[in-house]
Structure 1
């Protein structure tokens, strides 16, 4: 099979004047976007960048991400997208690991970038550096298109090699299964260094739709853009939806153009979904991984509303199974394994980690996701939690997601996270880290939970915080919560 990795060239010729990307107050057409990608490739060739070289990016959302993304199939280099929220020491480790030929940065990261790499340039320089003729290059489906780093909540993040095969199949499946339209518009507000490029930006641009880039998530501006630009699709992580729902402008926000909203990264609390549903926005729960990219399940709006905790069924060209600890089929609940043409190639220069993540079972290569899931009689999947996050209290399995969902039912709870901590009597008990909207005591919360959960599931310890620590993509850092617990009076 052959697919065209340089598909932007076709769209630039089909509808050159059609708006593609909204950036800093102006629309950039498909023809202009392709021209900018071509100029970026010529600039990189002038720096001596060639096929297989890594080119790193450091900074918040920026048009330069797309310029590099679409320049890559013209020259054969691999964009390596760095989490700008990491410390300089952590970034130094990632650069030593991936050895990029050049590092491009946004203006607010000039000083650390220049300290970190001898070939550091502002992203704007992609359009102005001395250029060189671009050599003939046609990428294969297995060539690496991106180097995306896993969450890295503990230890050095691994670089997942994303082949063109993944990007293209994900785009096609998402357009088809999610019912996207060339008339759809979407605001890229989640970090482009993570999965934003291949979640909705690539599928929409593949169709001829429009993408608006928000440099840093600003709830007031986001709500204003939805109204002003008639945005039709929302794609955010739960924390961002919560920030919108809590913003003073939300009550008067005009969301009538939104066809549906989808939440990724973690289950979205029911009260947050309800706030959008009250304004007429239909809601779906999504699921995906960097390594399996990145939209893995699909469901109709009617099914999503009838089964709001479900992520739906596997995409047409994706296979899913539930595996027990021995890798054999689990009937009702087990680790979610995924297989298909959207799998990563592996982790960059990490053969041991690759072998642990990608396993062969009955002649098929599977990704062990590390997520616990269950499947109902109609084939719908539900994410139960992380394999490593489940804890055993007095011999009983406790899934943090179940406890978190119950906590979110309390009107005083803004955010929460639950994890297991050691206990001399029960082996492990629950710790609930909670951010409150209004004052409430630990005993009242325990009483609220006891009316909804078995006693062994009710957290023994509570940690009240002003905010929960999060990673760059917005995931709650439970390891940091455990550290704070151990350093406190409960240690």
Structure 2
């Protein structure tokens, strides 16, 4: 049987083993668990009990792990807030989740106190008496409440049970071939899925994590030289920023076993830049509601099929469903449905949203991901984009991801995204938003001519808009809803 309090076991097995580096200090597994017990004691003194939400507003910080590992001792639900949101947005999320207590990191005191006059600095977590080791949770109890979406309307809070957290950690370790000798730099936002993407799999295995408070490309490269991570895990934008940062050219990456791109497909030129340094690359796919690593690939096959995310993890079943509810044929795109032990409990206080995303098939519960994918004859899956992002131009389906991959092949293009916009003749056409590399110039028609050499005519965007930089969401993905709003404001209704 899985044990929710994994950190207690790790601390008992190798208390002196280094676990996490933060602010120029290595914390051992014994120290991490001691901190967790102290945090649980501080929360108990504040009246926090099972099921209470504990809010956190901060850059990446050791406190995220303090509160997560304290969960099994007290039964609270860690609820991290996206610190990049505006005060009105945060107020709406705070009212939605009603945390019993809110903690804030350096620089967020004013905002936190506006949300809750009783909000406390992170240092308050270190002032408690160590809580007893008595287990206060079951595998079905929620460990985390993570916000999803948020580009349109109020984000939904996905309840992540201990079952999901532990299964994802164990299966990721097995399917990715992780060992206790592996090390990685945690640089993606911990208010999102960074906690359970690679941090918990490595820490639950006995590996090492180097924690960055905020991602800065030059600092990441310096930490890479210093700590020699065996695995790189970033979103595509971050990988690209590394290739453009000072110090990239002379960087040795011979110690890296492989790199994984999460959040979105990584452009081929970026993958190639790492390949030239001997780094083997594979695409990742996951979503907060399902655990968060959903597919796996052997490295050799991942390199042979670079656009594929691989096959479902051992704990997952996958199916592709057409609009009419029938199974999609090989090579045909359909909505990806997933089923298994890493599916969330549901959205917090959103029964109507649960009805939209869950479907029963006999005794099996399926999660409708909203992502479109197809499967080849080898059982490999390919993500072609969000269902809501696909548009129909002149009766033909256009998948923006396919167009974006070709846009990134142009040597002058730094970033690119495609959205569907209204057109009086074709119904919808593509609008490409493009940011160029420093010093590059490019005409819209020249870019369209480049695309026409590689894509069917109906897939070539009718419009090209050049921007200095593309807007991003909290996790670092391109914010396509913001691009649609930009189009609407500048050129009419989207």
With normalisation by structure 1, the TM-score equals 0.98
Q: Which residue in 1 is equivalent to 2:177?
A: 179
Q: Which residue of 1 aligns with 2:112?
A: 113
Match of 2:187 among 186, 189, 196: 189
Q: Cα distance, 1:383 vs. partner? A: 0.3
Residues 12-23 of structure 1 aligned to structure 2 (within 5 Å): 12-23=11-22
Q: Which residue number corresponds to residue 337 of structure 2? A: 337
1:46, 1:132 within 8 Å by CA — same for their partners in 2?
no
* Pairing 1:49-448 to 2, within 5 Å after superposition: 49-128=48-127, 130-131=128-129, 136-331=134-329, 332-437=332-437, 438-448=440-450
Aligned equivalents of 2:335, 2:447: Cα separation in 1: 31
Counting matched residue pairs gives 489
Q: Distance in 2 between the 1:83 and 1:117 partners? A: 16
The answer to whether the Cα contact below 8 Å between 2:73 and 2:131 also exists between their aligned partners in 1 is no
Of 407-416 and 115-124, the range deviating more from structure 2 = 115-124
Extract unaligned runs of 5+ from structure 1: none
Cα distance change on mapping 1:132 and 1:316 into 2, 3 Å: closer
Q: SS state of the match for residue 108, structure 1?
A: coil
Query: How big is each residue's C-alpha offset from its partner over 1:184-240, in whole Å with a ceiling of 9 and x where there is no partner?
Result: 001110000101110100010111100011000011111111121121000000000
CA positional deviation for 1:248: 2.1
Quickly say closer, same or farther: Cα 1:29–1:44, change in 2 above 3 A.
Answer: same
Partner deviation per Cα, 1:314-346 (whole Å, 9 max, x = no partner): 001100000011332111320000000000000
Kindly indicate whether the alpha-carbon contact (under 8 Å) linking 1:151 and 1:473 is maintained by their aligned counterparts in 2: no
The Cα shift of 1:136 comes to 3.9
The separation in 2 between residues aligned to 1:163 and 1:362, in whole angstroms, is 23
Change (3 A) 1:157 1:490: closer
Equivalent residue of 2:279, what SS? coil
Flag the 1:421–1:126 CA change in 2: closer, same or farther, 3 A.
same
Q: Distance in 1 between matches of 2:450 and 2:323?
A: 34
- Aligned in 2, Cα 1:175/1:133: closer, same or farther, shift over 3 Å? closer
Map of 2:482 onto structure 1: 480
Displacement after TM superposition at 1:131 (Å):
4.2
For 1:478 and 1:317, the matched residues in 2 are separated by 31
Q: Partner residue of 2:6? A: 7
**Deviation, structure 1 residue 263:** 0.3
* Equivalent pair of 1:45/1:134 in contact (CA under 8 Å): no
Unaligned runs of 5+ in 2: none
TM-fit CA distance, 1:489: 4.4
Query: Is 1:227–1:257's contact at 8 Å kept on the other side of the alignment?
Result: no
CA offsets per residue over residues 4-54 of structure 1, 9 Å max, x none?
Answer: 111111111111110000000110000001000000000000000000100
2:37/2:130 contact within 8 Å kept: no
SS in 1 for 2:185: strand
- Per the alignment, residue 461 of structure 2 pairs with 459
CA contact (8 A) 1:190 1:196 kept: yes
Report SS of the residue matched to 1:252. coil
TM-superposed CA distance for 1:115, in Å, is 1.3
Checking the alignment, whether the CA contact within 8 Å between 2:48 and 2:76 is kept in structure 1 is: yes
Which residue does 2:29 correspond to in 1? 30
2:124 & 2:222 partners in 1: Cα distance?
A: 31
Asked whether the 8 Å contact 2:259–2:279 carries over to 1, the reply is: yes
8 A Cα contact 1:75 1:135, kept in partner:
no
TM-fit CA distance, 1:107: 1.1
- Displacement, 1:247? 1.0
Which deviations, in whole Å up to 9, do the C-alpha atoms of 1:424-474 show, x marking residues without a partner? 011001000000011100010011011111111111111110111111011
Measured at CA, do residues 490 and 354 of structure 1 come closer, stay the same or move farther in structure 2, by a change above 3 Å? closer
Contact 2:176 2:296 (8 Å CA) reproduced: yes
Taking only aligned residues, the RMSD between alpha carbons, in angstroms, comes to 1.1
- How far is the alpha carbon of 1:138 from its aligned partner? 3.2
